[in-house]
Structure formats: C-alpha cells, structure tokens
Amino acid sequence: MRELSMFSLFCSCFNPRLHKNLDVNSEYMEVKPINKRASGQAFEVILKPPSPVSDVAHNIASISKKRDVSLEDIQKKLEAAEDRRRSQEAQVLKTLAEKREHERDVMIKAQEENNNFSRMAEEKLILKMEQIDENRRAHIAAMMERLQEKVSKQLTIVTIIQFI
C-alpha cells in the first residue's frame, strides 16, 4: 500500500501507468480500485474516522468542547422552548377557531338563504292559489249567469207559448 495525495489520486485516474498498484491507504481514507470497465476506471474510496490517539482527533475534540452550560442556561432554553410550543399551540387553536367561525357563518348564511327561498316559494304558491280561486269563482259566476239567461229565455218562451 502506498499513500497518495488527492491530486495524485486524480492524476492516476487518467494515467494508465499508475493503475498497477493503486491500493492507497492514508490516515483518513482508503482507495481501492474496482475492476476496469470499458468506460473508464472505478474506485472505491473509504473514508476513515480519525483514530482517538491521532493529533487531528485531539484537535477536533478540543475545538468541539463547548463552554460549560449552567443550569440557568438550560432552564432558560427549556422555558423558551415551552413558550415556543405554547405559542405554536395557541396559533393552531386560533386558526381552528377562525375556521370554525367561518364554517358557522357559512352555515348561518346558507340557512338564511334557504329560509328566504322557502318564504318566497310559499308566497308565490299562495298568490297562485288565490289567482286560481279567483278564476274558479269568476268561471262559476259566468256559468251561473249563462244558466240564468238560458232559464229566463226558456221561461219567456213558455210564457209566450201559454199566451198563444
């Protein structure tokens, strides 16, 4: 195994002379060639985590150490999170209440329109029935008048015949 820099690794991809012994092991990665293909080379790059004894691991550990977190800081963060949760919950409840209010308004409006339609239909029906009743009475009156005229004609004929 030999160590290559990243630049050397990429250069070796294009230079066929360097493909012979290309198993690369470095401190942070391991590169193994995979069988050649007609379209080019294939490599398997395995990234290794730094070992706990290496200088890099020590540097990363020293960098990642955070300042000491006090109980007050934790309490403040927890209270802030609780406030955010309450605020979000209140917002959701407010949105739901607004939706319910809107639905209730829509239902009331639909009920009013339905009542108005029913009242208008009833008024039209009453007017139509009154008109039909008036027409029926007028028709009956006209028939009675014609019948009386017929009867009076027949009576006049009978009286004329009696005088004759």
Over residues 40-85, the pLDDT tens digits come to 777 677 777 656 555 555 555 555 555 677 889 999 999 999 999 9
Helix (H) or strand (E) holding 30: strand 29-37
- Mark which of 64, 93, 113 sits at the end of a domain: 64
- Cut 0.75: pTM above it: no
Residue 155: domain span: 76-164
Which ranges in 15-70 belong to alpha helices (H)?
A: 55-64
Q: How many domains does the chain have?
A: 2
If asked whether residues 163 and 87 sit together in one domain, one would say yes
In a shared domain, residues 100 and 55: no
Question: Are 80 and 55 members of one domain?
Answer: no
- One domain, residues 10 and 85: no
Rounded to 5 degrees, what are φ and ψ at 10?
-70, -40
CA distance 40 to 86: 59
47: β partners: 29
